[in-house]
Amino acid sequence: MTSDLERLSECDSIISNILIDAVWGFTVVKTAQPKLDVAPLKDFVIDVIAQYNYNTHKLNEQLLSMQLIRDYLRRKRIVYKDLFKQHLHVYSLLFHPSTPVVVKFNSRLSNLTQKEEYCLIATRTIPKNTPIKNCLATLTRITAKQDQDLTDMNNDWSVLCSLSTGTRIFLGPARFANHDCDYNCQLERNKDHINLVTRREIRKGDEVLLNYGPHYFGDKNENCFCQTCEDRGDGAFQHLNKANENQLRTRFNSYIRSNTRSSTNNSDSPKSSASSSLTPLSSHSSLDELDDLLCDNDMCTSDKLVGEKECHTCIVHRRIYQNTWPKRSRLISTTEALKEMDASESDSSDNDQGSDYMSPNIQTSKHPHIRTSKLESLNIHLI
């Protein structure tokens, strides 16, 4: 019988493959994990996200109506279909214009672990003690045997948390939070999901970081590669200095091997081109600098013009949000724009969207009957 964990991990792989890998050109789903052939559909997926990113329910409807997904779900039991829909929603929320984090490639950690590592980066400042909006995970209980198997497999998408109710695993976008001994977030459970909640203010450009526990990376985290350990000469850095980076890698890899029953597959090794072409995240020294960058890919810096020189991340981001990375605009229908106008007239205090909705490019020529000046004041991009 299929367990909760097997169902959730399959959903997570299929959905990550569609909504992260196909869209951004990443490889968060490794070769051994289940996936569908979404490559031919990636433009369709990006277009659908561009059209419905502000309305997650509609976005899900559109994604679920894709033939590939319908064919895939047709063979599945109802319990799986329901889980898939719920988990799809959790991932679709990442694209909402009000979501304050993005999944990014992390070249620093990839260089150290010699695996392809991703992370969560804040795209705006998030105050202390605040749940990170739309960055959730789904919890599932696991048995002691599954716990052991996952530890043996050193599964990247899993962080185990021993709660009073037993061992559980969380899957969903929050799983991209890496560990740092000086973490800025913690997991908190709400009714259906778990949230990442800030322990201190997280500033725009900062990585969202969790504490996986004191012995996740070996005894007293002696194999931890976090920035804090590097700064303090602790964890994996305690006996070695920067000149011994190769030793560090060898040490981490032998730690991985000693915890791995089945051998890791080829896709676990970092993309050589990606790791060399990406600027380490720590290079964002000032907050304002992030506004000037198109993204954290050094092929795409502020001294280059937008357009043909944009990198893949920027091109896709612009297609989805009509804006430069990491700014998000809304792309909504005229009906909805009018509804928003009425709503804003009746409730001018609703400022939830803040200054992150930035789209001055209202296509008024297509919609001459719309009250343009009001729409402009709402910063709404019409379709």
Ligand X SMILES: C[S@@+](CC[C@H](N)C(=O)[O-])C[C@H]1O[C@@H](n2cnc3c(N)ncnc32)[C@H](O)[C@@H]1O
User: Which residues contact ligand X by CB under 6 A?
Assistant: 28, 109, 113, 115, 117-119, 156-157, 159, 175-176, 178-179, 217, 224-226
How many CB atoms lie under 10 A from the CB of residue 199?
A: 15
> Which residue's CB is nearer to ligand X, number 84 or number 176?
176
Which of 104, 119, 106 is closest to 174 using CA atoms?
119
**Distances, alpha carbon 279 to alpha carbons 21, 276, 301, in Å:** 20, 8, 10
> Which residue's CB is nearer to ligand X, number 28 or number 331?
28
We find the least distance from the C-beta atom of residue 367 to ligand X, in angstroms, to be 43
> Which residue's CB is nearer to ligand X, number 157 or number 357?
157
We find the least distance from the C-beta atom of residue 126 to ligand X, in angstroms, to be 19
Ramachandran category for residue 154: left, alpha or beta (phi over 0 → left; psi -120 to 50 → alpha):
left
Q: How far apart are CA 292 and CA 34, in angstroms?
A: 38
We find the least distance from the C-beta atom of residue 224 to ligand X, in angstroms, to be 5
We find the least distance from the C-beta atom of residue 166 to ligand X, in angstroms, to be 19
> Which residue's CB is nearer to ligand X, number 95 or number 157?
157
Cα four-point dihedral sign 349, 353, 359, 365: negative
> Which residue's CB is nearer to ligand X, number 87 or number 115?
115
> Which residue's CB is nearer to ligand X, number 217 or number 357?
217
We find the least distance from the C-beta atom of residue 225 to ligand X, in angstroms, to be 4
Q: Greatest CA span in the chain, whole angstroms?
A: 70
255 CB-contact burial (10 Å; exposed 0-12 / middle 13-18 / buried 19+): middle
Residues 6 or more apart from 262 whose CB is under 8 A from it? 152, 153
We find the least distance from the C-beta atom of residue 160 to ligand X, in angstroms, to be 10
Given a contact cutoff of 8 angstroms between Cβ atoms, the answer to whether 112 and 280 are in contact is no
